[in-house]
A and B are shown apart, each in its own frame.
Chain A
Amino acid sequence: MREHRYLKNVTTLAYEPAKCTGCGLCEDVCPHRVFGLENGKAWVRDLDLCMECGACSKNCPFAAITVRAGVGCAWAIMASELRGKKEVACG
């Protein structure tokens, strides 16, 4: 299902294939199927589907994936802006 698409070229997701061992956990956890697995290596299928939830980088045992994780929530961004916080999270 590819009916929803958000802004392009914005995600902070970065992947270093050299560190990948092909465990496939990133493919398992991504709710938007950003990662695929081929020939024992993960590969990025569609970067623009990334919502920066952070599941892949958190679960990569070899630190091959980095992303600035946070919530894509305008309300939370305004709240953290008003409180002068760097981190953007709910509540």
Chain B
Amino acid sequence: MSNDSQEKREVECSCADCCSVSASKDSEQSDERYVHKNVGWIKSQLETASGPIPVVSTQLNWRDSSGSFAVRLGIKRMNYAVRPGLYAVGNPNSSSFVFVSANFKLSFDRLRKELDGVDGWILVIDTKGINVWCAAGKGTFGTGEIIRRLEATGLRRVVSHRTLILPQLGAPGVAAHQVTKESGFKIVYGPVRASDIKLFLGKGMKASEEMRTVRFNLADRLSLTPLELVLTLKYVGAAVLILLILDLLGLITFSWKTIYPYLGAIIAGCVGVPALLPWIPGPAFAWKGWLLGMAWALIVNVEQGLIFSGSPGCAQAWPRAASHFLLLPAISAFLAMNFTGSSTYTSLSGVVREMKAAVPAILLSAGLGLAFVVALLAGVF
């Protein structure tokens, strides 16, 4: 079971992974700050020319799996890091492969699990506890850190060859020719996904087109939605609290009927759009969110008898319907737009272009919607 759930979390990067980890800005801090609370994954020590090297297990235990689950839910996002340095899997010697990994524990766990039956070395570099792709984008999974870590670990005394295998997604931060020029180590880019490593090694370090392509399938997308939802619901909790206080003060009437349209719009933006991403027409994320939010607003208004109803329930039917039509799609569109950061295929230029149109439209729609809500509360209608 735990293996299954691990497979489904193949996607290397989400912006959420990057954004919500408060990485230390000080690059000069020592590795001692990375404390291993549970070292069940270190099996033994291996004596080498550069001192004793920890040998790590290729089996993930329940602690590793529950830890990764907690990270996905946003419960345990700090300190989920591995101390940088050299590690061993199996029984490696001076001619064994060297794999480079980020020190985000999920990245490291995924790699060691896939190296079951392989004798090799893992060079963990300091990416401030952030996954490979995001760290490469920031440059912490980078040329300089690799060269520094090669020296710090004394890898050149441990192995006789001069080849490092890097995850392909580390490439945005690493200039392979620069590493070779300054350290003598040649870089081979391995596959995107750790699960393809054995196949890659078996083919003489050649990766197929498929192994070199980033995916964003349904399972990848859904594995990101709990975090999106948890991060958004924090704000929702605050909003509900404010509404409850207003209710207690007698200013508004707090009811499920007034709240659920907004919760639905949030779910449409945070879960609906990621799940249905390739099937909702149009390339822009905000547009996809707006469409889904509009469909939801339509359902809400019909369900509450505000439109298409022979006898509208109250005189306030049309302004309430209008507030839904203006606010709900704006909320979904905004949240869907933020999913661009979690996706694996949006470009900076593309998102800037999308936002130039979407942000003013969302603000206008939300502003008008809020005006209707305020007018309703003030008894204008």
Q: Show the binding face of A for B, using Cβ within 8 Å.
A: 1, 3-8, 10-12, 25, 28-33, 49-55, 58-59, 61, 68-78, 88-91
Contacts and interface: CB of A to CB of B under 8 A. Distances in A.
A75 B351 CA distance: 10
Contacts, number: 147
Nearest to B143: A58
Given A31-B344, A53-B137, A76-B19, A4 B168 contact: no
Given A11-B347, A51-B345, A77-B352, A58 B172 contact: yes
B316 interface: no
A3 B168 CA distance: 21
A55 B171 contact: yes
Nearest to B209: A33
Q: Chain A binding site: helix, strand, loop or mixed by DSSP? A: loop
- Determine which residue in B137, B177, B278 has the highest number of CB atoms from chain A within 10 A of its CB, and name it: B137
Given A28-B189, A31-B192, A71-B137, A54 B172 contact: yes
Interface string B256-274: 0000000000000000000
B346 A72 contact: yes
Given A31-B168, A55-B171, A77-B355, A1 B349 contact: no
Contacts of B338: 73-75
B327 interface: no
B267 to A, nearest CB: 19
- Determine which residue in B136, B350, B351, B354 has the highest number of CB atoms from chain A within 10 A of its CB, and name it: B351
B15 A76 contact: yes
B169 interface: yes
A73 B173 contact: no
- Determine which residue in A70, A75, A78 has the highest number of CB atoms from chain B within 10 A of its CB, and name it: A75
Contacts of B351: 72-74, 77
A4 B341 CA distance: 15
A58 B340 contact: no
Interface string B199-221: 00000000101001111100000
